[in-house]
Amino acid sequence: MGSTLADFALWAGFYVRDARQIWAQEAENFAHVDIDGWKASVLQSDLPELENVETDLSSVRLLPYFDSYLLGHKSHRNIVEERSHRKVYRPQGWVSPVLLVNGRGRWSLVPRAWQERA
């Protein structure tokens, strides 16, 4: 999966303005990718391996609360559909369990106690 300047800043614990110079220094090592309209960068050295990866197009995975797959990017639109975003990324920083189908969030479990309060 690719990364953006905002992802890097989040990962590094920097403000975007502080991460920008580091990102720019490494720009010549990046290849730009477009994943279903989501534009990001990957290391050029990783590109051949990523281009040749075989994916299981029928994968189904269950992710627990706060799974790092759901937390690793500033924007989540490449992982979770807009209509499900509020079910997954809940108030007060809660990140709900998710069913992934082919790498995309399709469903979120909201515990009964939360449903009664909502």
Q: What is the pLDDT of residues 53-92, one digit of tens each?
A: 776 667 788 888 888 888 877 777 777 877 888 888 888 8
What's the gap between Cα 30 and its chain centre? 18
**Residue 113: its pLDDT value, please?**
47
Question: Which three-class secondary structure state does DSSP give residue 40?
Answer: strand
> For residues 96 and 48, what is the distance between their CA atoms, to the nearest angstrom?
34
Q: What percent of the chain has pLDDT over 90?
A: 23
What local confidence, expressed as pLDDT, does residue 64 receive?
86
Mean pLDDT of the region 41-55? 85
* Structure confidence at residue 107 as a pLDDT band (50, 70, 90): low
Whether 45 and 68 map to the same domain: the answer is: no
User: Rounded CA gap, 66 and 63, in Å?
Assistant: 8
Average pLDDT, the chain: 80
Residues 73 and 25 both lie in one domain: no
Bridge partner residues of 105 (DSSP):
80, 100
- CA pair distance 104, 80, nearest whole angstrom: 6
Whether the predicted pLDDT of 12 surpasses 60: yes
Closest Cα partner for 106 from 70, 75, 71?
70
Q: Is the pLDDT of residue 97 over 90?
A: no
The number of distinct structural domains making up the chain is 2
**Whole domain around residue 26: which residue ranges?**
5-51
- 106 in the same domain as 70: yes
Return the ∠ at Cα 118 (arms to 84 and 74), rounded to 5°.
35
- Identify the pLDDT of residue 47: 87
**What amino acid occupies position 58?**
S
pLDDT exceeds 80 at position 105? no
65 & 94 share domain? yes
For residues 65 and 110, membership in a common domain is answered with: yes
Question: CA torsion 55→51→23→78, rounded to 10°?
Answer: -40
